[in-house]
Structure 1
């Protein structure tokens, strides 16, 4: 994801990305969906912290987490935001990104995790959904287990490699079509090996890029692809106030916000969360997980 964001910033100045991120997004004629630049860096807790107590009310997860029905021809369904008319709810999501080839950088001291951010979410009692790559879980198994087994959070699949599932996605390497399913399954295997007891049936495409071929290829896995409608702009940002404004200006009832949790590539995110959460709560918003948002979408009440 780091290579992704650096390529984005080469084409779109960071200040512009913070104030008009959508200007850099593209939708290709081939049918590939390219969101506004966003997806990218994760958020675990380094110590084996106890499950958070006193969390903000959130619907108890049923035995089968809510998903969307498959699309025509069995295409993987895509979810971007919840209902606008069922109360002021918002879901914060954090991408725990690490690509398959970034191990040497981690070994050299680069931090792809951000324990302080997860600690802040716990202190503020904010439910959140973390989309994690399998490679990240391999690098930080204790943190993956801590996040995945804390009822305040839910953990979902972000591929193993963080390679693109389309032919052109902001410069990311590309997963061959015959390896897409195994890339998702290998991530689940990495989560199990780390000791995560439950992985939600949600998938976030690396870079947020997908097309009908990718949706069809993953169709048999029973996952719902989760996008977003609010880009935080936190990737490589150095101005926490600007990112905070972008989030607050974008949130509407039912919004899904994409943020990152990588110390080296998203250094302002913890401060943004500290500012955004109390402001939105004062405006009457309640924080929920993606599963709660999907449940609100599919509920008839």
Structure 2
């Protein structure tokens, strides 16, 4: 079944990323909302221009005028995440981390705490990376709620964003996400860094797919990814991009639980 995506004229989705997302939502009648449309709808009901509550202070960036892009990392934290955090701190960039509960959040609580303390957005990537669209409702709820609880115990705050493994969603995933207060966040640029350790290739793939209001998907658990991040940041800054977290990309909108956001 086809999907409906709301777009704005100034944003072009790269062909590779668009094709990948078509596969993600294939067979699902799921509406999606772009960051630009979320902002426009929020402004139409006179919401405040302050960024929504997040792990860090509001950036003050207006993504209607700035060339914003969100850097996101899935499936961590891992052994290289502290080095990634050092890079982000040096580059003065905040990112969004979609964390796995089992063997990641539980194994690296100090890193999870550091992610939150340094102003990054802490989000949910399930407990054990099972495909949610293949699970029963109770299993979906367990995958998400266990990670919610683990992150809240460490940071004192429950995530408001989730990313489903492989981007696979259906009506049951949406229902449970809504119940747990989680918006579903997809992406527009991916390096497929699980398939290569070539940091230059990872950088090229991301830079080639970058677009205004884009959401970059990377994994801080693969060997080639963290070394690629400094070059990605430098090149995109050179091209006029401003890095923001996902909540900052949507501001003044607040991500609605259950809603699917993708550029």
Instruction: Evaluate the alpha carbon distance shift between residue 28 and residue 277 of structure 1 in structure 2; reply closer, same or farther with a 3 A threshold.
Output: closer
Q: Distance in 1 between matches of 2:53 and 2:199?
A: 39
Q: Distance in 2 between matches of 1:296 and 1:249?
A: 28
> Residue 10 of structure 1 corresponds to which residue in structure 2?
none
- Residue 176 in 1 paired to residue 136 in 2? yes
- Residue 281 in 1 paired to residue 237 in 2? yes
Instruction: Evaluate the alpha carbon distance shift between residue 249 and residue 162 of structure 1 in structure 2; reply closer, same or farther with a 3 A threshold.
Output: same
Structure 2 gaps of 5+ residues are 1-14, 31-48, 56-61, 255-263
- Residue 254 in 1 paired to residue 213 in 2? yes
Using structure 1 for the length normalisation, give the TM-score. 0.63
Give the superposed CA RMSD.
3.0
Deviation at 1:247, TM superposition (A): 0.8
Deviation at 1:115, TM superposition (A): 2.0
Q: Distance in 2 between matches of 1:27 and 1:273?
A: 25
Structure 1 gaps of 5+ residues are 1-18, 34-58, 66-82, 99-110, 168-174
Per-residue deviation, residues 192-222 of structure 1 (Å, max 9, x unmatched): 33x2122430111112111122212332222
- Work out the number of aligned pairs and report it: 215
Contact 1:203–1:223 at 8 Å: present in 2 too? Answer: yes
Using structure 2 for the length normalisation, give the TM-score. 0.71
SS of residue in 2 equivalent to 1:228:
coil
Mapping for residues 20-99 of structure 1, pairs under 5 Å = 26=23, 30-31=27-28, 61-63=51-53, 86-97=65-76
> Residue 212 of structure 1 corresponds to which residue in structure 2?
171
- Residue 128 in 1 paired to residue 95 in 2? yes
Instruction: Evaluate the alpha carbon distance shift between residue 28 and residue 206 of structure 1 in structure 2; reply closer, same or farther with a 3 A threshold.
Output: closer
Contact 2:98–2:162 at 8 Å: present in 1 too? Answer: yes
- Residue 198 in 1 paired to residue 195 in 2? no
Q: Distance in 2 between matches of 1:200 and 1:178?
A: 19
Deviation at 1:227, TM superposition (A): 0.6
Q: Distance in 2 between matches of 1:121 and 1:64?
A: 17
> Residue 8 of structure 2 corresponds to which residue in structure 1?
none
> Residue 201 of structure 2 corresponds to which residue in structure 1?
242
Deviation at 1:238, TM superposition (A): 1.9
Instruction: Evaluate the alpha carbon distance shift between residue 246 and residue 160 of structure 1 in structure 2; reply closer, same or farther with a 3 A threshold.
Output: same
